Amino acid sequence: MVAFIFKVINFILFILVLYKLLKRPILKFLEKEKEIILKKKEELELEKSRLEEAIKKLDIKIANAEKEAELIIKLAEQKAKKKREEILKEAKKIIEQYKDSVEKKIEEEIYTLKFQLKKLAINEAIREAEKILKNKLTQREDEEFIKESLRRLQVGRK
C-alpha cells in the first residue's frame, strides 16, 4: 500500500509542478482568447447595430417607395380617367357631327324625294289633264260632227 501512497504523492507533486509551470502560460492563453472573444463580440455587436441601422434606413426607403408608388398609381389613374373623359368627349363630338351630317343628308334626300314626287305628280297631272282634254276635244269634235251631220241631214230633207 505504501507503493500506492507513494504513487499518489508522486502524482500530486507532478500535478503541482505542472500547475506551477503551466499556470501562467495557460492563464495568458486563456486571457488572450478571452480578449479575442470579447473583441469579436464587440465587433459583432457593432456590426449588428450597423445592420439594424441599415435595416431601419431600408424600411424608411421602402415606405417612401411605397408612398411614391401609390402617388404614381394615383396620378396614372387620374391621367387615365382624364384621357378617358377626353376620348369620350371627342367620341361624342364626332358622333354628334356624324349625326348632324346624317340628318342633313336625310333632309337633303327628303327634299330631293319631295321634289321628284312633286315632279312626278305634276307629270301625272299633266298626263291626266291631257287625257281629259283629249277626251273633251274628242267630245267636241263628236258634237261638231253630230251637229254637222244633223245639219246635212236637215239640208238633205229640205
pLDDT tens, 84-112? 999 999 999 999 999 999 999 999 999 99
Please state the length of the chain: 158
Question: pLDDT below 70 — which residues of the chain?
Answer: 132-133, 135-140, 142, 145, 153, 155-158
What is the number of domains present in the chain?
1
Containing H/E element for 152?
helix 2-157
Q: What is the pLDDT of residue 131?
A: 73
Q: What is the pLDDT of residue 68?
A: 96
Find the domain containing 51 and state its range: 1-156
140 vs 157: CA distance, rounded Å: 25
Q: Could you give the 3-state DSSP secondary structure of residue 157?
A: helix
Q: Could you give the 3-state DSSP secondary structure of residue 158?
A: coil
Q: What is the pLDDT of residue 121?
A: 74
